[in-house]
A and B are shown apart, each in its own frame.
Chain A
Amino acid sequence: MLAMQILVDGFVVSALYGLGAIGFTIIFGVSGVLNLAHGGIMVTAAMIAWWAALSFGTYWGALAGVGAGVAAAYVTYYLVVRPIKFSPKIAEEEKEIFILTATLLWAIMIQEGIAYLFTSNPVTVRPLVPGVTAFLGVRTPTNELLIGVVCWLVIGLLYLFVNHTKLGKSVLAAAINPRGLALLGFDLPRIQAFVWGLYGLLAGIAGVLLATFIGASSNNVGDLTGSAFSIVVFGGLGSVPGSLIAAYIIGYFETATAYLVTPAIREMPALAILVLVLYLRPQGLLGRR
């Protein structure tokens, strides 16, 4: 019974982690940006979903939240990342660290902004579907099952998109070798701009689902970036399958710790694994760089 509970709960938590981390890793692959405002974008989506749901109902709220995620990603790209990327005043080799710092500061601004507008009290979005379902003998909120399904649906669609459409293939190619793609005549900046939108979509969906599951507050901005960052480093920077595997390993470790030891030290064993990985295999599970 306890094992089943861990299995079900861990599956959903991991799927959510995975979805959050995939966007993060794609952005890194395609434009070489470690976006430390990642958590800020997820929380923005969650907050807008909650706020819009107050007047327009849960579903429109969720849609508005995802839209806000996309908007926030674009704002991050055009306002914070792009100006630095194309600035002639900053030396090429220093741009990475400039962008890293800029997104970190941007994350703090988002956090403070949300705290100012909505306070730092956590909010939760109403479950997309109410009620509970007995699943493998475990009384699970139906919404939680839906989260697992939606996450994998989105991941599946992403897989089809990347492997079976022209635009998707160029995104994949840009992730593998951006310079080569540019030499072949592809408009790299346009692909990069598109990827930021795709990223916003994924982070937005993850943010809204998270808010229906455990709630969100401006205080979570740092934690969410941290967990996505750990997963992506663990899985290998830039590798989507690596991120998914890492999300499941970390998700299950956390869940098992919470059930078998205590929820108070939930994150600790996973972080210990991460440190170990950095010692033994710094490129991560499936890392290329």
Chain B
Amino acid sequence: MLAITRRIATAVVLGSGALALGLGGPAQAASNKGPINIGVIAPYSAIDGASIINGAEMAVDDINAHGGIMGRKIKLFKYDNHFSATEGVRAFQRAVNQDHVVAMIGIWISEIALAMEPWSGRLKTPFIVTGAASTQIPKHVHDNYNAYKYTFHDWLNSAFLADGVCDSSHDLLVKPLGYKTAYVMSEDAAWTKPLDNEYLKCLPKAGLKVVGHTRFSPDTTDFTPVFNKIEGAKPDVIITGIAHVGLKPTVQWHDQQVPILMAGISAQAGASTFWKRTNGATEGIVTTSAAVKGAALTRKTVPFTDAYTKRFGTTPAYNAYTTNDAFYFLKAAIERAKSTNADKVVAQLEKTNYVGNIGRVQFYGKNEKYTHGLKYGPKYITGVALQWQHGDQVAIWPKKVAKSKVILPSWIKNKKHASK
């Protein structure tokens, strides 16, 4: 007890000393005894926030049960940023200066990730973004490598997500269902700007002519006018980009029986709690996600999904997979560096070649467009397309993991049958 008190006292003195000197760096990080402190941050109350924390807890429990990192246990520090960028930045500062974390992992919502990103350089602490998608995150690293090199982007950026949607739409909608036109409907947010840009480019290439494009405000309550406008353009499919908003457009689409399939990205529909939240209105929704129950992207996908579902009573959202992975490849990087020194760890993180829950994790290099961004492609990570069918999330793309094909909700006419 006394020893612990003394350690805390030392930490406080060292910490405040460092602050007084204006160092503010990870004063304790170099210490070779005791646990290794790692931070995880997310808005707890969101479906896609809780999943980050849950994914982290599973990784930490597992790593600690198997001897920790270089024989040292991980001590997990959790921070709730309450959807606020200011609180995100403050938590990052507190995490480094008071809690002496050696790395920060997580965060949902691109605007907040972008606000925190410069602080990874200022605080000289690796920051692994696992739940935001803006292309700006890796672009900042590319444009200003020395200041931003501490940030790694461990989730597909929006442009890649759009490519995934286009590729899967081509295979699922254009060929088998004869779909020819699409309407792009996204929430107005940082992550959907590059997403929509790429949609507008890649959908026509995939065989879907874009007949309209709407960006709605995230605080929209009544979507009737939005759907009304879309119906007027007579598209075969609505391609979505929704994450912060999820429930309202989904429920109203269902209740109003909007006679057009919704596919694309509906981030909250990736977690099984979405069924309960929407009273089943999510039936028929197609979304791209990191992984889905029963689809073995790697040998780790299914065991992780099952263990997570058993422990938390819901399937993991995309960022539970990525956050969970981040702890393992961070562990590997620290062990290769034989140190928790930020620069040494960053150098090792750049060499990451780790087969995780959803594919092979590798990061783009200093001179590539998306520096420290996750590599996209069949050899690396593509994500999966799933559809809510009979109350269950079913993998429908890519082919190697597909369990079913697209089933249209009862109120949507099958184009091919109708034209016969």
Contacts and interface: CB of A to CB of B under 8 A. Distances in A.
Contacts of B222: 9, 13, 214, 258, 263, 266
B216 A141 contact: no
Contact of A121 (B216, B220, B247, B257): B247
B225 A259 contact: yes
B256 A132 contact: yes
A214 B252 contact: yes
A125 B255 CA distance: 11
B247 A5 contact: no
Nearest to B50: A119
Interface in B27-72: 45-47
Contacts of B221: 214-215, 266
Interface in B111-132: none
Contacts of B420: none
Interface stretch (B17-25, B148-156, B274-282): B274-282
Given A121-B46, A121-B47, A123-B277, A264 B251 contact: no
Given A132-B256, A132-B257, A125 B217 contact: no
Contacts of A124: 247-248, 251, 277-279, 281
A143 interface: yes
B282 to A, nearest CB: 11
Interface residues on A, range: 20 to 34
A120 interface: yes
Contact of B256 (A2, A13, A122, A139): A139
Nearest to A50: B279
Contacts of B228: 2, 5, 259
Interface string A247-289: 0000000010011000110100000000000000000000000
Nearest to B83: A120
Contacts of A2: 228
A54 interface: yes
Nearest to B278: A124
A121 B45 contact: yes
A263 B281 CA distance: 22
B223 interface: yes
A52 interface: no
Contact of B223 (A121, A130, A263): A263
A152 to B, nearest CB: 20
Interface in A30-54: 53-54
A115 B247 CA distance: 16
Nearest to A140: B256
Nearest to B281: A124
6 contacts: A121-B46, A130-B255, A140-B256, A215-B247, A215-B248, A264-B216
Given A5-B224, A214-B221, 17 more contacts: A120-B45, A121-B45, A122-B248, A124-B248, A125-B279, A132-B411, A139-B256, A141-B255, A141-B256, A141-B257, A214-B252, A215-B247, A215-B251, A258-B225, A263-B220, A263-B225, A263-B226
The 7 nearest A-B residue pairs measured at CB = A264-B217, A119-B45, A126-B279, A258-B225, A259-B225, A141-B255, A124-B251
